[in-house]
Structure 1
Amino acid sequence: MNKYYWLIIVILLVIGGVFFLNQKKPAMKQESTTTTTALNPVKEFSMIAKKWQFDPSTINVKQGDKVRLKIKSIDVTHGFSLLDFNVNENLAPEKEVVVEFIADKKGEFSFFCSVFCGEGHSGMKGFSMKGISKKTIEEHLKLYSGYINKYNEIQEKLAALKDEDYAKANQVYSVIRELKTELSFAWGGVVNHEIYFSHLGGKGGSPAGELLKQVEKDFSSFNAFKKDLKATGISARGWVWTGWNYQEKRLINYLGDSQNTYSMWKVEPLVALDTYEHAYFIDYGVNRAGYIDSFFENLDWKIIEENFQNIVGCCGEC
């Protein structure tokens, strides 16, 4: 497996299936262990994560149950996210992770893998995102996988260069020029998409705490920030980033027309908006503005806020 397949992306593609919460006691697809406590009985389940599914893929509990999941990955690093109950865990290979929560809501809820785990990730079952279809995400992930593959392929070709290749270096055309140019393009495609997918899957809204204060300081209001980011996105041919400028100590929305145009020195990206047509054409056609509205509705500001706290603690050398 390529070394970059384990890189984390927070995306809403379901490995596992559906979490059913009912008031009536349903038939269980897996036997659970019930532990009696002074408050609530504990419904305990064992779960295996593997490429590319959870086993079991469906769990039934009653509203009000205390649920304990013992989850283990048996191959590569996976993730387990059940956002409606604030559950998000990384699953390292062969290490059991215990998750507990109260099933205090009635309904049907999806759980999914939150860590990119290989080529089969794009075909995982289940999906829930406002305004962005499963088909769009599946096709988008195929492109992301392609950037990983090409980055590794280019690295191998660079390692195999001979003295005569170096001797023929030329700014108009040469093998080394071509490989070096496309290396930056492929790497940009990897990192840009990782930022993009990592902060999707939330419930939109607005940031809080220090990040909100900084947004209001630099843009006068959160609505003004959204207006600027949306207009920048409509104007871009590739990507838009909200970046923290270490030197100016402020947030700025930057525009880039290609995967490898993020070269703003002393600027750390916080938000990445993909404006290539592949990110929205299936769902919106030429209506990029509608896609950007949906992008805002799916942002996970908690993740962005945590990244901001980490960034502002640096000295411009992170």
Structure 2
Amino acid sequence: MHLISRPSNQTGCHPQQLTLALIVLVVFMTGCRTLRTTRQTRELSAARNLSLRGWDELEQKHYSDAELMFQRALEHSEADERAHWGMAEVLWPSGQQESAIAHMATAVKIGGKSPELLVRLGEMYYEKEHYAEALRQADAALNFDRQHCGGWALRGRVLQRYGELDAALDSYHRALNQQANLPEVQLAVAQIYQQTGRSQRALHTLVSMMDTPQGGRCAEAWLLKGHALAALGEQQDARTCINQASKIAPEDDTELLVELAKSQVAFGDLAEARHSIGRAMRHDPYNPQILNLKNELDASFQSFAATNSLVGYGKRIESAAESESK
């Protein structure tokens, strides 16, 4: 007869021993997790200190030193959004714009609901002509903070680029309601007013903007003020403004120098226009727009010289005829 025996305890472990083992395992895992968290916190703190030093260097335009600080910060921790933002600002002017945008996008992802980060990312997209993405970032910033002037300003820029001028004006005015002294926004508002035939309002906006030191040093504002005054029939004051724009125009702003030359041609100041084109060509000698305008100016000068030569020849003939008659 086969007897069925009760299964024996193969492990030889008592329930109390098993419970104790589980407690030890939980304590060990909790300790590891705590140590790991402590280490990550320490690394993030070191990264933040380095990124602060990087921002100090960046503000002084010490780009190489700033980049080194941000690199060291990211070696300590990839979770420091300010290090990613700083690296983006270093890379952007050096032409590494795609890498800059990648770092900025990472900063936004880490920073969560920061309108400031969202707007800066949107501005970078705008400069790369990714206007839809720029608008998306502006709207995201405004979803978190409806009073964020940077979000409204960026939204206005995109809408102005799209040709939605009334909507752009509304966004710009919302930005100015939050902060009245925003020269770039005021200039954009004046541009829209001038573009839509409201020269008096453009002039009023520019006068307010140019009362500030930054606004008074803006060559583009002086040029636009000249256009507004010319449209209002103030030709001499307009010419004075355009001359002031010429004096302070940056040598590397070829687009502004071309617009300046066109305005000088419109006022009949051909010599000044040639000077402006010469400045633009020193920075961008193969730009087709600049070359075309130079050729037009050269042709105008040749025509002017030929006309003056004929007039002078005619006067000499008249003078000789008068002498003979006497």
- The structure with the largest alpha-carbon Rg is 2
Normalising by the residue count of structure 2, what TM-score does the alignment of the two structures yield? Answer: 0.21
Normalising by the residue count of structure 1, what TM-score does the alignment of the two structures yield? Answer: 0.21
Structure with the greater relative contact order (CA < 8 A, sep ≥ 6): 1 or 2? 1
Q: Kindly indicate which of the two structures has a greater share of residues assigned to strand.
A: 1
